[in-house]
Structure 1
Amino acid sequence: MTTADLAPLARAAAGGHRTLSAAARLTGGTSKGVYRLVHDDGSTAIAYVWSPQEDYWARPDTTDRPEPAAGLALFRSAHRRLTALGVRVPRILFLDADGTHLPACAAVVEDVAGPTLETALRDDPDRARPALERLARMLEAMRARTAPGHGGVTSVEEGGPAPDGVACARAVADRALADIDEVAARDPRARRARARLRDRIRELHGAVRPRPASSLVHGELGPDHVLLAADGEPVLIDIEDLGYCDAEREHAFLELRFGPWYDVLRAPGLDPDRLALHRLALHLSLVAGPLRLLDGDFPDPAPMREIAEFNLLRALDLAGGAGAGPRG
């Protein structure tokens, strides 16, 4: 969207006291547009825009993508839950749930001025270490927030389907089996290893024992989804996937994305059987997802190919190395 496109939304968010002078789409978003709004007085804000045109996952043959309005609803419920827990998220300045100011649902939030935690860990580890320790405390608060169910925040907290103690693990295993079939149709190495990968997922799922409750998880908490505020406090972004599942799902992702820094975030008492299932399922998801994106018009395909390749090799290794030979 252009500056002119976003001007009505910016004007409504600013209460008519400022004029939008520039807007730029920020990189990285795949399911919503993220824009920095710059006003004539130098102040800034961030606009989230949920529309099919901003969703690189949307394709003509896609039937399971949520409606754009659902993205805003998920954001609002996640924001409310995290704020109640004392987990810092960007402050909401304005919501347009009806598409009044854009042909899309949108939110305007504060522009957290600091770098991502990923950048700080690379460039300023002395500053990043206290933020990482604060993030660990936030994660513990989220892990302690439990519910007897599995799924999105609103559906679970309003009394979703009766839990059976393994619902999250079953959903993850089913998704992983579908990912295996999808990847096997695209890559000969996965095709050769398809039976072994499926057997390993079933084996790992079979080892999972029931648990009475699920924990609150971000779902995709890499260091690029944590901003540092001026006071050094971590601020979580891309929160729409917040929901209840195994804490091991969160920690499999943290372990992968934080690498050697994960030791600061490591939690005691995780179930090794669930963790093993979530690790393999995560790698499979990070092959199938990027390959799916590459079917569309994603503007920076090279990193997606690298992500898919790295995670395919890790998945094959976790499944016993079957099929890890040449591509052809």
Structure 2
Amino acid sequence: MSWTCHLDETDVQEYVGRVLGTGYTVADVTKMHGGAQKVVYKIHCRNGFACVLYVWDLTKNYFQEEIANERVHERSFGGHSFETNNRWLRNHGISTPALYDLHTGQDRYPFDYALVECIEGQKAEAYFKDPDQRVRDEVLERIGSMIERMHANHRQGYGKPDQSGNPRERCHLVQLENAKEQLSYIVLHNGSIRKNHDRLLAVLHELESRIDSRKRYGFIHGELGPDHVLVTDRLEPYLIDIEGAQFFDIEHEHTFLELRFGKHYRYFQQNGLDPNRMLFYRLHHYISLTSGGLKLLHRGFPDQVFASNLADYHARNTLRFMEEWQLDN
């Protein structure tokens, strides 16, 4: 058996046996695509069972600096955030892979790791071009229903479900500061954004000034693209990469869904969304994704073409949004 894993072979076998039982003998471990935030392995057992090992190794994270500077309510990395959100989602009937065990002791290894249910299926984007329209409708309608149920859970303070709620009423101010920080990074590497920095800041502040106070926040995933939904052969959707979920403005989620699902966003449209928040968060996402793409590009993300295209595409979106908004206002 070829071995490639954060944990050595003996430790993986001991961990699986302790959590699942002595009848579960590890046959192989394969590395899966875990994105920019964690490393993911699939564990195959000799009895045919499979599960997933999540490893939150900060040294392998492409946003180490940002994580180190996160405030408590913004934390979107590590075993605790995963455990808290996993419990909340499953307790509220939102499908996400079951957590079998979480190890946070960091006694032998300097990182959190967890054993998680393996959901066999495809990412939602695989169904965008399904030749059967009924299948496409079924998948996207089920995802839409799941999102609506999740967003329908409200509380007065924003933040993680295990926190009492942040006392600041205007949670979008967190994203205003984030957009300004991301712009300061972008201007070091993109001449077009650099030339328009002051104009972009003015638009951001103007959009923010139009947002009214709110004391009602829905539960959102926080980064809900089609790659963060697994769909089983029974067309059942499961949310993954849930560490960033929290109570927040649901417009933050809807503008991201609109961006990532494109024409398929029609399955998720909802009445009563605040148009001023929608405008603000659209621009925030464009800026954030431009910066994110650049950071992946500069920090050695394996798919450099993807990182470059992400940064270029959203830089153009940022400038286009600014021009169109100023023409309309």
Q: TM-score if structure 1 supplies the norm length?
A: 0.89
Query: Of the candidates 196, 200, 204, which is equivalent to residue 197 of structure 1?
Result: 200
Q: Does 1:106 align with 2:113?
A: yes
Number of residue pairs matched?
A: 316
* Secondary structure in 2 matching 1:107: strand
Question: Structure 2 matches for 1:1-328, cutoff 5 A?
Answer: 1-2=4-5, 4=9, 6-58=12-64, 63-64=68-69, 71-99=78-106, 102-123=109-130, 126-155=134-163, 159-164=164-169, 166=170, 168-320=171-323
Output the CA distance in 2 between the equivalents of 1:200 and 1:119: 37
What residue in structure 2 maps to residue 326 of structure 1? none
1:107-138 Cα deviation digits (max 9, x unpaired): 11111111111112234553232121122122
Greater alpha carbon shift after TM alignment, 128-137 vs 64-73: 64-73
Check conservation: 1:58, 1:65, Cα contact below 8 A: no
1:29 deviates by 1.7
Check conservation: 2:228, 2:241, Cα contact below 8 A: yes
Check conservation: 1:148, 1:163, Cα contact below 8 A: no
* Secondary structure in 1 matching 2:219: strand
Which one-letter code corresponds to 1:160 in the other structure?
Answer: G
Greater alpha carbon shift after TM alignment, 64-73 vs 181-190: 64-73
Check conservation: 2:221, 2:244, Cα contact below 8 A: yes
Check conservation: 1:150, 1:214, Cα contact below 8 A: yes
Output the CA distance in 1 between the equivalents of 2:67 and 2:85: 25
Which one-letter code corresponds to 1:277 in the other structure?
Answer: F
* Secondary structure in 2 matching 1:122: coil
Check conservation: 1:180, 1:194, Cα contact below 8 A: yes
Check conservation: 2:76, 2:243, Cα contact below 8 A: no
1:100 deviates by 5.9
Stretches of structure 2 that go unaligned for 5 or more consecutive residues are none
Check conservation: 2:140, 2:267, Cα contact below 8 A: yes
Output the CA distance in 2 between the equivalents of 1:90 and 1:7: 21
Output the CA distance in 2 between the equivalents of 1:39 and 1:100: 26
1:229 deviates by 2.5
Output the CA distance in 2 between the equivalents of 1:80 and 1:265: 24
* Secondary structure in 2 matching 1:231: coil
Change (3 A) 1:53 1:23: farther
Which one-letter code corresponds to 2:323 in the other structure?
Answer: G
* Secondary structure in 2 matching 1:202: helix
Which one-letter code corresponds to 2:21 in the other structure?
Answer: G
Output the CA distance in 2 between the equivalents of 1:62 and 1:279: 23
1:194-249 Cα deviation digits (max 9, x unpaired): 01110110010011011221111100011111011243211000000001111100
1:298 deviates by 1.7
1:36-76 Cα deviation digits (max 9, x unpaired): 111112221111111123322225x9742699996111011
Stretches of structure 1 that go unaligned for 5 or more consecutive residues are 323-328
1:270 deviates by 0.6
Check conservation: 1:185, 1:191, Cα contact below 8 A: yes
Change (3 A) 1:191 1:203: same
1:122-170 Cα deviation digits (max 9, x unpaired): 3455323212112212211222211212222222xxx233242x2x211
For the aligned residues, what is the CA RMSD?
2.4
1:85-111 Cα deviation digits (max 9, x unpaired): 211000122222224675531111111
Change (3 A) 1:174 1:70: closer
Output the CA distance in 2 between the equivalents of 1:129 and 1:172: 33
The sequence identity of aligned pairs, in percent, is 29
* Secondary structure in 2 matching 1:221: coil
* Secondary structure in 1 matching 2:265: helix
